[in-house]
A and B are shown apart, each in its own frame.
Chain A
Amino acid sequence: MTGYMIKRLLAVFPVLLVVTFLVFLSVHFSPVNPVESLLGNEASPEAVAKLTHELGLDKPIMNQYASWLGAIFSGELGDSIIRRVPVAPILEERFINTLILAAGGLVVCLGFGITVGIFAGLKSGSWFDRVVMFFVMIGANLPTFWLGIVLMWLFSLKLGWLPSSGMYDMREGKSLASLLQHLILPSLAIGISSVAIVARLIRASVIDVMNSDFMLTLRSHGMSAGRMLGKHLLRNILAPILTISGLEIGYLLSGVLFVETVFSWPGIGTLLYNSIMGHDIPFIQAGVLLVAFTYVLINLITDILVAFLNPRLK
């Protein structure tokens, strides 16, 4: 187990290094010169040259990469070129907002997915199983972006039940109630498409466990369905639940970036969108890196947890 963990940890470093290099290069080869976008079209060549030098953009690429990487490792994300403010605190606040939305999505996808999966598994082949699985499959194939617009149209515009954008009601100020209201629609938009994946996996696990020899024995001994569900079934499907949760967090984090734009949620997605439009390179680099690092980290944690829970992998 320890050997596996060390191996898994070591494998992460080259991945992260490649990620940093790709992020650096992709922005470096952008067709837009950040200095020109800051100083405008009418800047004198002297002014462009001066600011280019100040920002260190006239050094060789590998030197720029090395100093950038060094700064990243020492926790220095730099200042925004366009806005001249430190990137780190803004990114941190936005990342927390993104995590809140991703958590909302996770609650939707796991809450619905696990519940539906368990019941469909217990009643496999029944009308309930068929109908529910039919609907979750439809949900899985709906584009998140489109679903967001439909939800907004229905619940905000037509029914007037829920707010359509932002994180809080700006007139009233911040409150938990306001946050939860604003969280429902975007969470549904990102969560619904994953319900089917979770439900199908859980359903399959439930059928597997229910048909296993020990469950058949317990049944033959007359153990009640409630005890079987709570004591044996749930424990045995915990590993697949964890695996799918890990995968879904990664998926939700990337899905969230699109949903944020639809619902004007002030997270990393909208920040990245605006930074890309404004070619604010430090923001783009730090934002993409943060998302990539989180993705890799979640996968690592999931793998280790699953290995821990699955004795066969030990």
Chain B
Amino acid sequence: MRKSTFKTGSRLLLLLTLALSVVVTGCQAATKNNNGVNQATVSPSATTSTETDAATNEPVKDGTLIVALSTDVTLLDPTRQGGWQTFLVNRNIHESLVKEDLSKTSEEAAVVEIIPSLAETWEVSPDGLTYTFHLRKGVKFQDGTDFNADAVEFNVRRAWDKEFEFFDEVSATNMSRIYNDLKSIQAVDANTFSFTFNHPFQAFLRLLAQGSTGSGLIASPTAIRELGNDKYAEHPVGTGPFVFVERVIGDHVTVKRNDNYWGDKAYAQQLIFRLIADNNARATALRTGEVDIILSPAGETISSLKQDGFSVPAANLPSVFYLTLNTQNEYFKDIKVRQAFAYAIDRESLSKDLLEGNATPAYSAAHTGNEAYDADHKPFPYDPEKAKQLLAEAGYPDGFGVTIQTYTGNEAYVEWVQRDLAKVGIQLKIETFDWATFGAQRFMKPEVGVNTMSWGFVTAYWIYVLGHSESTGRYGGYTNPAIDEVIAKANNEIDPDKALAYWKEARDIIDNDVAIVPLFSSNTSLAQGRNVKGLIVPSQNWFDLTKVWTEK
């Protein structure tokens, strides 16, 4: 009896094993045949050999390009949007009056240039107050609406004019950095539009072209009229090279090529922006070929991706990881303590050893990729002895203890800083939060001494964000009337060279005051698959996807 049962069991077990083998091998064949996703992994050398084949190096049009984002898209509404990855998506659907030339690498252009987009030309009045744009003729939004001065007016009034029927509080708040000093606007004629400010505003063009909280990208007035302010983001319509197809919140955004686009048509027939929040999963999806480009490759994955032949292009990205010193804190009220703090950190080693050379040490508020950046400007190089001396002069020969607040993802470099500071007697107590919680309390209470941030602009106006007493970007409450004065001069100066000189003066004030302690600028924002061609990484936190294609 028992023998018979065993036989039945064995047979069933054998059948089960066979069935599983069939399923697994079947899947293997199906995967390779159906999507070919794994071919690059299975045979990397095969892909390398095709790269040398000139015949296959022609742009392959009509392909699908998949970009993996690390954070979800906020809103596909230009004036409500926030964050760089959202802007990367949004700028394919919408365009602004001017745009950045993203066709040059960091070596070719250390600072990206402003070039025409929906405005063919523009001029600034001699007093620097009025910007007049001559709009491109014959451009249509993707819903057939004409692009003209009325469309520009609609978009500006939506985010600025409280009396306007489609005025939107969220847009107004997000766009306040651009429009807060705007005095008046005028649709001069169908193809001419002007902005007049209360004071000269040098950074205006740059801010129109870029993404931050809100952007100067222009939406179809017809779409906003039909959908209303709240629903537009789910059905965006612009003039850009790609047309919105669908968004599955928390998963992906799909856009297809705009065949009626006024400019050069995009190579890819379709772009898909997929959210893969997990760092390892994102790198794995690139390795298996499920996605073509990944954003924000995590430090620990960069080296192995490079070793395996994936390209992780480096560039002077205009952002900086920095510590804000709380000038309301009892220790950091003293400038000597702040300067000691800045001397105590070995940024060269941090960038080289901890970040494996994927970062540039930062010594100034004007970081790499910023107009006011100067590679030789290093006011506080690593000098622990000098730090100890300054601490002693400030009355803390044995150092002191203070709290630093940060958010998840920064643990490695914050602990590195903690170790460096301990060497001069400053004991850091680390408190780590998730990003959202941290964001809500980034204006520090007096008992908190330091916090972390990563941000930055191409324009020197970035110094205003960090240092001007009216800016809300000063998380440590730093103020200095001298910097306000110089920033006013910089803003009011019409000659760009003279303005830049003022900005550098303001930079020197904020650097010497150690309102922030710059640590490093990351050099990498993406990694690309072996079959991705034509991708250029400029000195900016986003890039152009219209000239990118995938080699089959």
Contact = CB atoms under 8 A, between A and B. Distances in A.
Given A123-B9, A170-B252, A32 B35 contact: no
Interface string B246-260: 001111100000000
A10 interface: no
B45 interface: no
Contacts of B435: 277
Interface in A7-49: 30-33, 36-44, 47
B249 A85 contact: yes
B12 A32 contact: no
B437 interface: yes
A153 to B, nearest CB: 8
B13 interface: yes
Interface string A161-198: 11111100111100001101100100000000000000
A219 B2 CA distance: 10
Interface class of chain B by DSSP: helix
A163 B31 contact: yes
A186 to B, nearest CB: 11
A264 to B, nearest CB: 5
Scoring A30, A37, A123, A264 by chain B CB atoms within 10 A of each residue's CB, the highest score goes to A264
Interface stretch (B96-104, B153-161, B269-277, B507-515): B269-277
A279 B437 CA distance: 9
Contacts of B177: 42
B36 to A, nearest CB: 9
Nearest to A33: B440
Given A38-B170, A44-B173, A262-B278, A164 B285 contact: yes
Nearest to A277: B436
A270 interface: yes
B72 interface: yes
A202 B24 CA distance: 27
Nearest to B442: A41
B250 A163 contact: no
| Contact residues on B (Cβ < 8 Å of other chain), bracket | 35 or more
B20 to A, nearest CB: 10
B278 A166 contact: no
Interface string B1-42: 100111011001100100000001001101110110110011
Contacts of A69: none
Contact of B34 (A37, A178, A276): A178
Interface string B504-523: 00000000000000000000
| Contact residues on A (Cβ < 8 Å of other chain), bracket | 35 or more
Contacts of B24: 161
24 contacts: A31-B441, A32-B436, A32-B437, A32-B439, A40-B173, A42-B177, A47-B169, A51-B169, A83-B75, A83-B234, A85-B231, A152-B284, A156-B284, A157-B41, A160-B38, A163-B290, A165-B290, A169-B34, A170-B252, A171-B66, A177-B34, A262-B278, A266-B248, A270-B251
Contacts of A293: none
B353 interface: no
A266 B34 contact: no
Of all A-B residue pairs in the complex, the 8 with the closest CB atoms, nearest first, are A160-B38, A225-B5, A84-B230, A266-B251, A169-B35, A32-B440, A161-B28, A42-B472
Contacts of B170: 38-39
A88 interface: no
B63 to A, nearest CB: 9
Nearest to A265: B251
Contacts of B8: 225-226, 229
Contacts of A51: 169
A81 to B, nearest CB: 11
A119 interface: yes
A178 B35 contact: yes
Given A51-B169, A122-B6, 15 more contacts: A31-B437, A41-B442, A42-B177, A42-B472, A47-B169, A123-B9, A160-B41, A161-B38, A172-B35, A178-B34, A181-B27, A181-B31, A225-B8, A264-B278, A266-B248
A240 interface: no
A261 interface: yes
A270 B250 contact: yes
A78 to B, nearest CB: 13
A90 B249 CA distance: 8
Given A119-B13, A169-B34, A225-B5, A161 B27 contact: yes
Contacts of B274: 166, 170, 264
B290 A83 contact: no
A122 B288 contact: no
B538 interface: no
Nearest to B7: A225
A312 B272 CA distance: 58
A149 interface: yes
Given A122-B5, A171-B64, A115 B12 contact: yes
A163 B274 CA distance: 15
Contact of A164 (B13, B16, B284): B284
A157 B436 contact: no
Contacts of A37: 436, 439-440
Given A40-B213, A42-B177, A42-B472, A225 B290 contact: no
A83 B233 contact: yes
Contacts of B276: 165, 264
B27 A43 contact: no
Scoring B1, B41, B436 by chain A CB atoms within 10 A of each residue's CB, the highest score goes to B436
B82 A83 contact: no
Interface in B259-289: 272, 274-278, 280-281, 284-285, 287-288
Contacts of A164: 281, 284-285, 288, 290
B168 to A, nearest CB: 11
A151 B4 CA distance: 37
Contact of B30 (A39, A40, A181, A270): A181
